[in-house]
Structure 1
Amino acid sequence: MNGSTHASSSSSPRLARIDGAEGGRRHFRYFDYVMVAFVAILLLSNLIGASKLASLGGVTFGAGILFFPVSYVIGDVLTEVYGYANARRCVWAGFFALVFMAFMSFVVVALPPSQGWGGQASYEAVFGSTWRIVIASITAFWAGEFVNSFVLAKMKLLTGGKHLWTRTIGSTVFGQAIDSLLFYPIAFLGTWTTGQVLTVMVTNWAMKVAWEVILTPATYAVVGWLKRREGVEVFDEKTNFSPFATARPLRD
């Protein structure tokens, strides 16, 4: 442990405070599991939920919105517990997973169906997203997640690690705003009216932020559990916030 490690005055005294740059080079016990959960929920919410329109109480929405915000909650957990550098790794992992999923969907849908197999039309309806929606989804995720992590990490410094709810909700407000501002115009402007794009954009942004508020107790529980077991409190005081930066290896 280098000289940057000391007891955190803003959290449990049992947690050692480390800088985000050190955290990005450190091995954590549960980081890999959280990253897998993040990528899995991201892919499944886009693959299973994105193609279905649902209606509850007269409100129509994409079914994926019920689960996709969970990836933002896990993104908050990643940044809060493991720091921006480790969250950055997960965003890139999710980005390339989405790119591969889109490529695989395109190839599989384009393959000529076997004679006698009657599922091609249904398969195309579920997995045959247009190029605009694919580009919109990948671009919005990438930008929105980085904004989410950046805002949370900066707010953690401003709050001294206190009031977790302010940064999880605050980062989601900004991250989901960027996500929605990119996704809906790229995917649907010109196909839908401008009014429809604006209405759905604002409605879905509000629903995603509401999900974050509802899941705040769960976020507190997961963050607390992970911090106690990892034994550290990460503050991104010297972190390089470029999305393209890489962590330098630890020196002996």
Structure 2
Amino acid sequence: MTKDTHILIGFGTIYAALLVAANAAGTKIIAVGSLAASATVFVYALTFLVTDIVSDVYGKKAADKLVIYGFVSVLLAVVIYQLAIVAPPAPFFQNQEAYESVFGVTWRLLLGGLVAYLISQFLDIRIFHYIREKTNTKHLWLRNVASTLISQFVDTVIFITVAFYGVFDDLFALILGQYLIKLVIALLDTPFAYLGISIAKRFSDGEYGHAK
């Protein structure tokens, strides 16, 4: 197994773990100061960092595959959760309702999350590479921040609208709160993009070719 394969497996593992964790925690709305957002906002925002790193080092095709594998991992996790819920509980198990409240599927949340995920992640990758080509591979900070901010806005609008329309009166406040938090994360994660890309390139053996 080559170094590049090890690196991509590592990024894929991190990416899938972030997505599954975000999906499991997505039903809770948290307060961040005066803003309201899904409890997954911090975890999910990091998935865009991972795809940006993979995009820059291994190219658009590799990043696209990461998105597809992540989608499959979320669906698999949802199936496992549902099977665990319908499995007969042991007579002494007294927490079935609590278990269902945590791992049960709210189908609007699931649909909104999956649709927003696919559209925004693929959009992020394409904007990232468009800016990369236009700047002749320079200004990583620009493509990292710009691609994430645009795609995260699309993600937020789609997810909040599909998941919470008719549930909360002020969708705009929820969208604004979630997006402002994502904006801050996008600005703060740029140094980690530089670090992750530097480490990946240092240990890469060039099997996949860079950013094709």
Answer whether TM exceeds 0.5 for this pair.
yes
Distance (whole Å) between structure 2 residues aligned to residue 136 and residue 108 of structure 1: 23
What stretches of structure 1 move > 6 A for 4+ residues in a row? none
CA shift for structure 1 position 61: 2.9
Distance (whole Å) between structure 1 residues aligned to residue 192 and residue 34 of structure 2: 28
Deviations 1:121-174 (A, max 9, x none): 111111113111111111111111100111101110001010101000111112
Corresponding residue for residue 205 of structure 1 = 179
Identity percentage of aligned residues: 23
Distance (whole Å) between structure 1 residues aligned to residue 145 and residue 110 of structure 2: 27
Pairing partner for 1:64 from 40, 62, 70: 40
CA shift for structure 1 position 106: 2.1
Aligned partners of 2:67 and 2:122 also within 8 Å: yes
Distance (whole Å) between structure 2 residues aligned to residue 207 and residue 57 of structure 1: 10
Corresponding residue for residue 204 of structure 2 = 230
Corresponding residue for residue 126 of structure 2 = 150
Q: Give the letter aligned to residue 183 of structure 1.
A: F
Q: Secondary structure of the residue that 1:75 maps to in structure 2? A: helix
Distance (whole Å) between structure 1 residues aligned to residue 86 and residue 59 of structure 2: 41
Over aligned residue pairs, what C-alpha RMSD do you find?
Answer: 1.8
Q: Give the letter aligned to residue 200 of structure 2.
A: L
Out of 209-218 and 58-67, give the one that drifted further: 58-67
Out of 114-123 and 69-78, give the one that drifted further: 114-123
CA shift for structure 1 position 110: 2.6
Query: Is there any run of 5+ residues in structure 1 with no aligned partner, and where?
Result: 1-26, 237-252
CA shift for structure 1 position 231: 5.8
CA shift for structure 1 position 117: 1.5
Pairing partner for 1:161 from 110, 128, 137: 137
CA shift for structure 1 position 180: 1.2
Deviations 1:166-224 (A, max 9, x none): 0001111121122112111111112222xx22221122122112101111111111111
Q: Give the letter aligned to residue 14 of structure 2.
A: A
Q: Give the letter aligned to residue 156 of structure 1.
A: R
Distance (whole Å) between structure 1 residues aligned to residue 163 and residue 37 of structure 2: 16
Pairing partner for 1:182 from 116, 136, 158: 158
Q: How many residues align?
A: 207
Which TM-score applies when normalising by structure 1?
0.76
Pairing partner for 2:100 from 124, 134, 137: 124
Corresponding residue for residue 20 of structure 1 = none
- Write the mapping of 1:24-173 to structure 2, written as runs, cut at 5 A: 28-47=5-24, 49-173=25-149
Aligned partners of 1:140 and 1:180 also within 8 Å: yes
Aligned partners of 2:27 and 2:109 also within 8 Å: no
Query: Is there any run of 5+ residues in structure 2 with no aligned partner, and where?
Result: none
Deviations 1:35-87 (A, max 9, x none): 1111111112222x324333343443332212211111111111111110000
Distance (whole Å) between structure 2 residues aligned to residue 121 and residue 200 of structure 1: 28
Which TM-score applies when normalising by structure 2?
0.89
Distance (whole Å) between structure 1 residues aligned to residue 42 and residue 143 of structure 2: 22
Relative to structure 1, the CA distance from residue 75 to residue 116 in structure 2 (aligned partners, 3 Å threshold; closer, same or farther) is same
Aligned partners of 1:143 and 1:179 also within 8 Å: yes
Q: Secondary structure of the residue that 2:40 maps to in structure 1? A: helix
